[in-house]
Structure 1
Amino acid sequence: MKYAVLLRGINVGGKNKVVMSELRDLVRQLGYEQVETYINSGNLFFETEASYQQIHDKISQLFVQHYPFIRSFSLFNKADYEADFADLPAWWDENLARKDVLFYTDQVDKADVQRRILALPLRDEVVHFGQLGVYWGKHEEKEYLKTAYHKHLLKEPFYKLVTIRNGKTFVKLGDYLAD
């Protein structure tokens, strides 16, 4: 089965450096196959027959040993991605100014994230709560600075417990999982 691991806050502004070729080598040493990465922001893919819990435990231990600044991550398989993709609302296919996915990590309380987002003053925005994360769309670029996404997201306590990918990267994740 193909899996994806999404890391948060690495290789940003020279902090929390993770060299993708080294990460791929370490993951291969765990016994995983067809190990790939996409761009330099922590998108990792591999194939294994191990269980979700076995993978989670091994990856967690790898981060403790080699990258202690990685305290949480998002782990899902091809079937999980395809189910979320199939359940996306119609607005996801529209030509929006911005689309982002706030992927839940293993440390997040999904119900709390959903409750807190619904309490925000959503302006020119739409949200969809999937199993893998929160799908967030912004209609007009000129209104972006007024959105809850821009004005409130960074202040939310869950912000450091999600890892964000834009809509184009979300599609690319599916391409990697499909191969």
Structure 2
Amino acid sequence: MKYAVLLRGINVGGKNKVLMSQLREQVQKLGYQQVETYINSGNLFFDTQEPYPEIHQKLKQFFEENYPFIQAFSLFDKESYQADLNQLPDWWQEDLARKDVLFYTDRVDKEEAQSRIKAMPLKNEVVHFGQLGVYWGKYDEKEYLKTAYHKYLIKEPYYKWITIRNGKTFAKLASYL
């Protein structure tokens, strides 16, 4: 089974440095096959027959021991990615000013996050709740500073536990999965 691990807050502004080549080697030593990374922002892929709970626990312990600043990550398999992709609304295929996926990690209460987002006053933006995360589209770059995404999201208690990828990176994940 092919899995993706999306790390939060690494290699940003010179902080929390993780060398992707070193990470690939370390993950291979954990027993995973066909380990790959995409760009320097913490997108990791591998094959394994281990069940999800074992993978999650092994990675959690690995990060605690080797990269203690990685306190949350998103882990999902190819089928879960495909299921979310198949459920995306039509607007996701439109040429929007911005598209982002706010991937849930194991530290996010999905229902609470969704409830808080539903209460936000959306301005020139659209939201879809998937199983892996929140898909957020912004229609107009000029209005971006007025959007709920810009004004409210960063202030939310769950914000430090999500990991965000733009629409292009989300699409690129498919080629690795």
Question: Shorter-normalised TM-score: what interval?
Answer: over 0.9
1:86 is matched with: 86
Q: Distance in 2 between matches of 1:7 and 1:99?
A: 19
Q: Distance in 2 between matches of 1:105 and 1:175?
A: 22
2:157 is matched with: 157
Deviations 1:83-134 (A, max 9, x none): 0000000100011110000000011000000001011111101000000000
1:168 is matched with: 168
2:30 is matched with: 30
Query: Secondary structure, in 3 states, of the residue corresponding to 2:169?
Result: helix
CA shift for structure 1 position 173: 0.6
1:120 alignment partner AA: M
CA RMSD, 1 decimal: 0.5
How many pairs were matched up?
177
Q: Distance in 2 between matches of 1:111 and 1:19?
A: 34
Q: Distance in 1 between matches of 2:13 and 2:139?
A: 29
Deviations 1:21-48 (A, max 9, x none): 1110110001000000000000000000
Q: Distance in 1 between matches of 2:94 and 2:19?
A: 35
Q: Distance in 1 between matches of 2:150 and 2:65?
A: 35
Q: Distance in 2 between matches of 1:81 and 1:170?
A: 9
Q: Distance in 1 between matches of 2:37 and 2:11?
A: 14
Query: How do 1:10-159 and structure 2 match up within 5 A?
Result: 10-159=10-159
TM-score normalised by structure 1 residue count:
0.98
Query: Secondary structure, in 3 states, of the residue corresponding to 1:105?
Result: coil
Q: Distance in 2 between matches of 1:65 and 1:125?
A: 40
CA shift for structure 1 position 175: 1.1
User: Any stretches of 5+ residues in structure 1 without a counterpart?
Assistant: none
Query: Secondary structure, in 3 states, of the residue corresponding to 2:106?
Result: coil
Q: Distance in 1 between matches of 2:154 and 2:34?
A: 35
User: Any stretches of 5+ residues in structure 2 without a counterpart?
Assistant: none
Question: Sequence identity, in percent?
Answer: 71
Q: Distance in 2 between matches of 1:53 and 1:18?
A: 24
Query: Secondary structure, in 3 states, of the residue corresponding to 2:165?
Result: strand
